[in-house]
């Protein structure tokens, strides 16, 4: 059996697990932070349950559209989300864990890819892009908190 290429990112967010989980589970919020800096999003399908499809069009700052298709494998409210990303490239499994701890909730991302040459070359880029995702999520959570 071939070992998978693993990319791990985690960050502590100063909110409770339900608030952090909702930032993904609510498509309106998700469109505001998903993807690296410079991307905007349109969610065309979001069937948030095991076996459900998620289709999102991510638009880069240069106007290029990237149609993404994923299928949810596990959804455990406030605890865990697992999905299989099919398209447009880089098939991977994403596991998101929401762990309450002192000071907030730690979000763990674990991505598993086939260890192809292309994927191995993209590993650093993907890890950095995930950190940008977390930055955008942090900004959204701060805006929501200030809006209360």
**Does the predicted TM-score (pTM) go above 0.95?**
no
The domain that contains 89 carries what CATH number? 3.30.530.20
DSSP codes joined into one string, the chain? -PPPEEEEEEEEESS-HHHHHHHHHSHHHHHHH-SSTT-EEEEEEE--STT-EEEEEEE-TTS-EEEEEEEEEEEETTTEEEEEEEESS--EEEEEEEEEETTEEEEEEEEEE---HHHHHHHHHHHHHHHHHHHHHHHHHHHHHHT-
Q: Which domain holds residue 124?
A: 5-146
**For the chain, what is the domain count?**
1
Q: What is the pLDDT of residue 88?
A: 64
pLDDT, average across residues 92-98: 97
């Amino acid at each position: 059996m071939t070992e998978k290429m693993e990319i791990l990112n985690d960050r502590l967010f100063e909110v409770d697990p339900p608030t952090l989980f909702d930032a993904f589970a609510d498509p309106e919020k998700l469109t505001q932070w998903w993807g690296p800096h410079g991307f905007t999003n349109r969610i065309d399908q979001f069937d948030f349950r095991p076996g459900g499809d998620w289709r999102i069009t991510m638009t880069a700052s240069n106007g290029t559209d990237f149609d993404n298709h994923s299928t949810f494998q596990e959804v455990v409210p406030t605890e865990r989300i697992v999905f299989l990303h099919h398209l447009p490239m880089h098939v991977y499994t994403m596991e998101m864990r929401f762990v309450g701890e002192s000071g907030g909730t730690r979000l763990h991302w674990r991505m598993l890819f086939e260890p192809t040459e292309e994927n191995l070359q993209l590993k650093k880029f993907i890890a950095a892009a995930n950190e940008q995702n977390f930055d955008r999520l942090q900004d959204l959570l701060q805006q929501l908190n200030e809006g209360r």
